[in-house]
């Protein structure tokens, strides 16, 4: 029935044209009555057939009015048109959410725009950055692939996403007892005297390293970061190499004259005194000069004999001398 009606309409158009301008009209005039873009078909007039959705809108790109011809129903047309232009929302097996930055609708399809680290038409595949770009981690650091990304396992002294940033260890006061010099990927400590080790934390035992640190019989005592010498009498200085001038102290020889010597001194005592420091009064009575029965009284550099009331007996030597003097 519809086909018959279409033929009648066509005949009416032909009669109208013939009445106005004859059988033939120019190209511009004819376009006013009928104009349709060329589309692939089976050689039949598509306008005279109920629309085929697959042919009209899937094999070709149709507009909304052409879709309406297919369904002849507003709601069905709206639903089909939404499916054509909003597949991001309707596709069950569409873009994978974890790998997709956003989905872009195109006619009867969609395009998945992937997040960094993902690939595939649905952004479903992880990119192994460690294989794609073996130099993503600099130096001899190792690359560790993870889903959607990667990380670099940096060597000591390096940091950053690509392990390409040098760590300045000197900012951490790492050389405890020394000066720090930063180097690419490492550092070096210049230790103060008395310390050693990578970070200058180890004490140097100078007494074990150098046996002759303390001179003139002095003993070495190790300290943290240093040492000290305990000097023998008569010596002083950090290494016991300096003579002590004992005579600078005026009281060294109490009753005598002081003479300094290397590492020592000697005293020349005044008359009547003895001892190393001339501090002992000499007992002249020890000579026994007083006669028998007399009492000897010691004095300063002298002595005196006190005889009893009965008198003193001269010593045997004096008696012999006196006896010889009396003999004719």
Q: How many structural domains does the chain have?
A: 4
Whole domain around residue 199: which residue ranges? 169-203
The verdict on 160 and 133 lying in the same domain is: yes
In which residue are the tokens 């097996």 written? 93
The answer as to whether 155 is a domain residue is yes
Which domain CATH number covers 179?
Answer: 2.10.25
> Which residues lie below 8 Å from residue 167, measured CB to CB, with a gap of 6+?
157, 158, 159, 185
The answer as to whether 30 is a domain residue is no
CA atoms of 189 and 35, how far apart (whole Å): 90
CA atoms of 73 and 75, how far apart (whole Å): 6
The answer as to whether 6 is a domain residue is no
Residue 15 is predicted with a pLDDT of 45
Q: What is the pTM of this model?
A: 0.46
The answer as to whether 89 is a domain residue is no
The verdict on 197 and 173 lying in the same domain is: yes
pLDDT tens profile 309-319? 887 776 554 44
The verdict on 111 and 143 lying in the same domain is: yes
The verdict on 179 and 151 lying in the same domain is: no
Mean pLDDT to the nearest integer, 101-116: 91
The answer as to whether 255 is a domain residue is no
pLDDT tens profile 145-187? 999 889 999 999 999 999 999 999 999 999 999 999 999 999 9
pLDDT at 8 over 90: no
The answer as to whether 7 is a domain residue is no
The answer as to whether 62 is a domain residue is yes
The answer as to whether 304 is a domain residue is yes
CA atoms of 103 and 30, how far apart (whole Å): 45
> Which residues lie below 8 Å from residue 9, measured CB to CB, with a gap of 6+?
none
> Which residues lie below 8 Å from residue 118, measured CB to CB, with a gap of 6+?
96, 98, 99, 100, 124, 125, 126, 127, 148
């Amino acid at each position: 029935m519809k086909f018959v009606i279409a033929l009648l309409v066509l005949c009416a158009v032909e009669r109208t044209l013939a009445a106005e301008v004859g059988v033939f009209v120019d190209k511009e005039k004819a376009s006013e009555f009928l104009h349709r873009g060329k589309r692939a078909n089976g050689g039949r007039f598509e306008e005279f057939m109920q629309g085929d959705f697959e042919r009209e809108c899937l094999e070709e790109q149709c507009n909304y009015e052409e879709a309406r011809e297919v369904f002849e129903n507003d709601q069905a047309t709206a639903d089909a048109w939404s499916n054509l232009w909003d597949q991001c929302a309707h596709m069950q097996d569409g873009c994978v959410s974890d790998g997709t930055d956003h989905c872009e609708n195109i006619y009867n399809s969609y395009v998945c725009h992937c997040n960094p680290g993902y690939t595939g038409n649905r952004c479903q595949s992880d990119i192994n950055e460690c294989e794609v770009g073996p130099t993503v981690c600099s130096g001899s650091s190792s690359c560790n692939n993870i889903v959607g990304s990667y990380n670099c396992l940096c060597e000591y002294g390096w940091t950053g996403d690509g392990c390409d940033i040098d760590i300045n260890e000197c900012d951490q006061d790492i050389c405890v007892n020394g000066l720090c010099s930063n180097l690419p990927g490492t550092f070096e400590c210049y230790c103060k005297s008395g310390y050693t080790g990578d970070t200058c934390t180890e004490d140097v035992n100078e007494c074990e390293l150098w046996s002759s640190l303390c001179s003139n019989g002095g003993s070495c005592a190790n300290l943290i970061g240093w040492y000290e010498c305990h000097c023998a009498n008569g010596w002083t200085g950090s290494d016991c190499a300096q003579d002590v001038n004992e005579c600078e102290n005026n009281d060294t020889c109490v009753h005598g004259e002081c003479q300094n010597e290397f590492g020592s001194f000697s005293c020349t005592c005044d008359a009547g005194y003895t001892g190393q420091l001339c501090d002992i009064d000499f007992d002249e009575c020890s000579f026994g000069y007083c006669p028998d029965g007399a009492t000897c009284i010691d004095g300063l550099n002298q002595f005196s004999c006190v005889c009893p009331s009965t008198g003193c007996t001269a010593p045997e030597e004096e008696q012999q001398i006196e006896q010889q003097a009396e003999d004719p």
